[in-house]
Structure 1
Amino acid sequence: MPTVHRQQAFGDWTLDERLGDAAALRDAVSGQSAGAARVATWTAAVHTQTGEIATTCSGHGSCAEITILEVTNWDPDLAVFTPAMRLENLKDCMGKIWQEKAICDVCEVLLPDSSKLEGAYRKERRWPPG
Protein backbone atom coordinates (compact mmCIF):
# COMPACT_ATOMS: atom_id res chain seq x y z
CA MET A 1 0.00 0.00 0.00
CA PRO A 2 1.36 3.47 -0.86
CA THR A 3 2.44 5.74 2.01
CA VAL A 4 -0.17 8.24 3.18
CA HIS A 5 1.35 11.59 4.15
CA ARG A 6 -0.59 13.48 6.80
CA GLN A 7 -0.51 17.07 8.06
CA GLN A 8 -2.39 18.43 11.06
CA ALA A 9 -4.18 21.79 11.01
CA PHE A 10 -3.03 24.49 13.41
CA GLY A 11 -4.94 27.53 14.60
CA ASP A 12 -7.95 28.86 12.76
CA TRP A 13 -8.54 27.46 9.29
CA THR A 14 -11.16 27.34 6.59
CA LEU A 15 -11.97 24.43 4.33
CA ASP A 16 -10.92 26.43 1.25
CA GLU A 17 -7.54 27.21 2.84
CA ARG A 18 -6.99 23.58 3.79
CA LEU A 19 -7.99 22.37 0.31
CA GLY A 20 -5.33 24.72 -1.09
CA ASP A 21 -2.82 23.34 1.43
CA ALA A 22 -3.85 19.80 0.50
CA ALA A 23 -3.29 20.41 -3.21
CA ALA A 24 0.12 21.95 -2.44
CA LEU A 25 1.09 18.97 -0.28
CA ARG A 26 -0.12 16.56 -2.98
CA ASP A 27 2.01 18.34 -5.57
CA ALA A 28 5.09 18.51 -3.31
CA VAL A 29 5.00 14.87 -2.22
CA SER A 30 4.25 13.58 -5.72
CA GLY A 31 7.08 15.69 -7.13
CA GLN A 32 9.54 13.96 -4.79
CA SER A 33 8.28 10.47 -5.57
CA ALA A 34 10.13 7.88 -7.61
CA GLY A 35 9.41 4.63 -9.40
CA ALA A 36 5.80 3.61 -9.91
CA ALA A 37 4.57 6.39 -7.59
CA ARG A 38 6.04 8.99 -9.95
CA VAL A 39 3.50 8.12 -12.66
CA ALA A 40 0.61 7.11 -10.39
CA THR A 41 -2.56 9.15 -9.85
CA TRP A 42 -2.33 11.41 -6.77
CA THR A 43 -4.99 13.06 -4.66
CA ALA A 44 -5.34 14.65 -1.24
CA ALA A 45 -8.21 15.10 1.19
CA VAL A 46 -9.19 17.35 4.05
CA HIS A 47 -11.08 16.13 7.11
CA THR A 48 -13.86 18.72 7.41
CA GLN A 49 -13.99 18.69 11.23
CA THR A 50 -10.28 18.61 12.12
CA GLY A 51 -8.66 20.20 9.07
CA GLU A 52 -6.18 17.35 8.86
CA ILE A 53 -4.80 16.72 5.36
CA ALA A 54 -3.85 13.36 3.87
CA THR A 55 -2.30 12.67 0.47
CA THR A 56 -1.21 9.56 -1.40
CA CYS A 57 -1.13 7.92 -4.80
CA SER A 58 -2.94 5.00 -6.33
CA GLY A 59 -1.22 1.66 -6.21
CA HIS A 60 -1.47 -2.03 -5.34
CA GLY A 61 -4.90 -2.19 -6.97
CA SER A 62 -6.44 0.64 -4.94
CA CYS A 63 -7.43 4.20 -5.74
CA ALA A 64 -5.68 6.94 -3.78
CA GLU A 65 -9.03 8.06 -2.32
CA ILE A 66 -9.80 4.62 -0.91
CA THR A 67 -6.27 4.30 0.51
CA ILE A 68 -6.64 7.64 2.30
CA LEU A 69 -9.93 6.59 3.88
CA GLU A 70 -8.57 3.17 4.93
CA VAL A 71 -5.34 4.50 6.46
CA THR A 72 -6.87 7.52 8.23
CA ASN A 73 -10.08 5.72 9.22
CA TRP A 74 -12.01 8.86 8.26
CA ASP A 75 -15.74 8.77 7.70
CA PRO A 76 -16.19 9.39 3.95
CA ASP A 77 -18.88 11.97 4.75
CA LEU A 78 -16.23 14.04 6.58
CA ALA A 79 -13.61 14.03 3.81
CA VAL A 80 -13.38 16.37 0.82
CA PHE A 81 -10.95 15.38 -1.93
CA THR A 82 -8.83 17.54 -4.19
CA PRO A 83 -8.87 16.77 -7.89
CA ALA A 84 -6.84 13.69 -8.77
CA MET A 85 -3.73 14.45 -10.85
CA ARG A 86 -1.36 12.34 -12.92
CA LEU A 87 1.77 13.02 -14.97
CA GLU A 88 1.04 12.34 -18.62
CA ASN A 89 2.88 12.81 -21.87
CA LEU A 90 0.57 14.58 -24.29
CA LYS A 91 3.11 14.04 -27.10
CA ASP A 92 3.35 17.81 -27.64
CA CYS A 93 7.13 18.03 -27.06
CA MET A 94 6.54 19.45 -23.59
CA GLY A 95 7.30 16.18 -21.78
CA LYS A 96 5.13 14.93 -18.95
CA ILE A 97 2.79 17.47 -17.35
CA TRP A 98 0.13 17.28 -14.63
CA GLN A 99 -3.32 16.42 -15.93
CA GLU A 100 -6.52 16.27 -13.89
CA LYS A 101 -8.03 12.77 -13.96
CA ALA A 102 -11.71 11.92 -14.02
CA ILE A 103 -13.27 10.42 -10.92
CA CYS A 104 -13.10 6.68 -11.53
CA ASP A 105 -16.14 4.41 -11.56
CA VAL A 106 -15.20 2.89 -8.17
CA CYS A 107 -14.91 6.24 -6.39
CA GLU A 108 -17.99 7.56 -8.19
CA VAL A 109 -20.01 4.83 -6.46
CA LEU A 110 -18.20 4.53 -3.11
CA LEU A 111 -17.67 8.19 -2.22
CA PRO A 112 -20.59 10.32 -1.06
CA ASP A 113 -21.47 13.41 -3.07
CA SER A 114 -20.23 15.60 -0.20
CA SER A 115 -16.66 14.37 -0.69
CA LYS A 116 -16.47 15.47 -4.34
CA LEU A 117 -15.58 19.08 -5.05
CA GLU A 118 -18.00 20.98 -7.21
CA GLY A 119 -16.48 21.08 -10.69
CA ALA A 120 -14.50 17.86 -10.19
CA TYR A 121 -13.76 16.23 -13.51
CA ARG A 122 -15.94 13.23 -14.32
CA LYS A 123 -16.13 11.05 -17.36
CA GLU A 124 -18.37 12.74 -19.95
CA ARG A 125 -19.45 15.52 -17.57
CA ARG A 126 -18.54 17.73 -14.61
CA TRP A 127 -19.62 17.15 -11.02
CA PRO A 128 -22.33 17.68 -9.86
CA PRO A 129 -24.62 16.20 -12.47
CA GLY A 130 -27.58 18.18 -13.65
Structure 2
Amino acid sequence: MTMSLFCSGELIRDPERKTSANGNNYVSALLRVDPETVVSLTAFDSGIAERLASLKKGSALACSGRLQARPYTDRDGTLRPGLGVTITELMIGAAPPQRAERRPRAKATPAAGAAGAGAGGDFDDVLPTF
Protein backbone atom coordinates (compact mmCIF):
# COMPACT_ATOMS: atom_id res chain seq x y z
CA MET A 1 0.00 0.00 0.00
CA THR A 2 1.36 3.39 -1.00
CA MET A 3 0.64 6.33 1.26
CA SER A 4 0.79 9.94 0.15
CA LEU A 5 1.67 12.98 2.19
CA PHE A 6 1.12 16.70 1.64
CA CYS A 7 3.36 18.97 3.68
CA SER A 8 4.56 22.54 3.70
CA GLY A 9 7.28 24.47 5.45
CA GLU A 10 10.69 25.98 4.79
CA LEU A 11 13.99 24.48 3.76
CA ILE A 12 16.51 24.22 6.58
CA ARG A 13 19.50 24.05 4.22
CA ASP A 14 20.21 24.36 0.50
CA PRO A 15 19.05 21.35 -1.57
CA GLU A 16 21.79 18.97 -2.76
CA ARG A 17 22.23 17.33 -6.17
CA LYS A 18 23.18 13.66 -5.90
CA THR A 19 23.65 10.54 -8.02
CA SER A 20 22.35 7.13 -6.93
CA ALA A 21 24.43 3.92 -7.10
CA ASN A 22 22.74 3.01 -10.40
CA GLY A 23 23.54 6.41 -11.96
CA ASN A 24 20.20 8.21 -11.53
CA ASN A 25 20.41 11.91 -10.69
CA TYR A 26 18.20 13.30 -7.95
CA VAL A 27 17.93 16.21 -5.52
CA SER A 28 17.49 15.91 -1.76
CA ALA A 29 16.47 18.52 0.80
CA LEU A 30 15.24 18.87 4.37
CA LEU A 31 11.93 20.62 5.09
CA ARG A 32 10.97 21.94 8.54
CA VAL A 33 7.20 21.61 8.83
CA ASP A 34 7.00 22.68 12.48
CA PRO A 35 9.51 23.34 15.26
CA GLU A 36 9.96 19.63 15.98
CA THR A 37 9.32 17.93 12.64
CA VAL A 38 11.69 17.70 9.69
CA VAL A 39 10.81 15.78 6.53
CA SER A 40 13.46 14.47 4.14
CA LEU A 41 12.58 15.30 0.52
CA THR A 42 13.78 13.47 -2.60
CA ALA A 43 13.03 14.51 -6.18
CA PHE A 44 13.79 12.08 -9.03
CA ASP A 45 11.62 13.71 -11.72
CA SER A 46 14.01 15.98 -13.66
CA GLY A 47 11.63 18.96 -13.78
CA ILE A 48 10.80 18.80 -10.08
CA ALA A 49 14.46 18.14 -9.21
CA GLU A 50 15.58 21.27 -11.11
CA ARG A 51 12.95 23.44 -9.43
CA LEU A 52 13.88 22.08 -5.99
CA ALA A 53 17.62 22.54 -6.67
CA SER A 54 17.03 26.20 -7.58
CA LEU A 55 15.78 26.97 -4.05
CA LYS A 56 17.85 28.11 -1.07
CA LYS A 57 17.76 27.68 2.68
CA GLY A 58 14.67 29.44 4.07
CA SER A 59 12.60 29.02 0.90
CA ALA A 60 8.92 28.30 1.53
CA LEU A 61 7.38 25.37 -0.31
CA ALA A 62 4.64 22.80 -0.25
CA CYS A 63 4.89 19.36 -1.77
CA SER A 64 3.13 16.04 -2.01
CA GLY A 65 4.37 12.60 -2.82
CA ARG A 66 4.95 9.06 -1.64
CA LEU A 67 5.46 8.81 2.10
CA GLN A 68 8.29 6.63 3.41
CA ALA A 69 9.65 5.83 6.84
CA ARG A 70 13.25 7.06 6.90
CA PRO A 71 14.90 6.40 10.24
CA TYR A 72 18.16 8.27 10.81
CA THR A 73 21.01 8.27 13.29
CA ASP A 74 21.41 11.51 15.24
CA ARG A 75 24.68 13.09 16.35
CA ASP A 76 24.68 11.03 19.54
CA GLY A 77 24.43 7.79 17.55
CA THR A 78 20.79 7.18 18.52
CA LEU A 79 18.49 5.73 15.84
CA ARG A 80 15.43 7.98 15.49
CA PRO A 81 12.23 7.70 13.45
CA GLY A 82 12.03 9.94 10.40
CA LEU A 83 9.71 10.76 7.51
CA GLY A 84 10.60 11.03 3.87
CA VAL A 85 8.69 12.08 0.77
CA THR A 86 9.51 11.23 -2.81
CA ILE A 87 8.09 14.38 -4.40
CA THR A 88 5.49 14.09 -7.15
CA GLU A 89 4.12 17.68 -6.87
CA LEU A 90 6.03 20.81 -5.84
CA MET A 91 4.59 24.25 -5.12
CA ILE A 92 7.08 27.03 -4.42
CA GLY A 93 5.97 29.75 -2.04
CA ALA A 94 6.97 33.35 -1.67
CA ALA A 95 10.32 34.27 -0.23
CA PRO A 96 10.35 34.43 3.55
CA PRO A 97 9.57 37.91 4.86
CA GLN A 98 12.54 40.07 5.75
CA ARG A 99 12.36 41.43 9.26
CA ALA A 100 12.82 45.15 9.52
CA GLU A 101 15.45 46.37 11.92
CA ARG A 102 13.74 47.49 15.09
CA ARG A 103 14.39 51.05 16.12
CA PRO A 104 13.49 52.46 19.51
CA ARG A 105 10.42 54.64 19.55
CA ALA A 106 10.89 58.34 20.08
CA LYS A 107 9.77 59.51 23.49
CA ALA A 108 7.42 62.44 23.79
CA THR A 109 8.84 65.45 25.57
CA PRO A 110 6.56 68.24 26.73
CA ALA A 111 7.17 71.60 25.09
CA ALA A 112 7.80 74.55 27.37
CA GLY A 113 4.55 76.28 28.31
CA ALA A 114 2.39 73.67 26.58
CA ALA A 115 -1.11 73.21 27.85
CA GLY A 116 -1.34 70.29 30.23
CA ALA A 117 2.41 70.16 30.88
CA GLY A 118 3.09 69.73 34.54
CA ALA A 119 -0.60 69.65 35.38
CA GLY A 120 -0.04 66.55 37.48
CA GLY A 121 -2.62 64.44 35.62
CA ASP A 122 -2.11 60.90 34.33
CA PHE A 123 -2.42 62.01 30.71
CA ASP A 124 0.17 63.72 28.57
CA ASP A 125 -1.59 66.07 26.15
CA VAL A 126 1.61 67.04 24.39
CA LEU A 127 2.24 65.37 21.03
CA PRO A 128 5.78 64.44 20.02
CA THR A 129 7.41 66.45 17.26
CA PHE A 130 8.69 64.57 14.27
* Both proteins in one fold, TM over 0.5: no
* CA radius of gyration, larger in: 2
- Structure with greater helix percent: 1
TM-score (norm 1): 0.25
TM-score (norm 2): 0.25
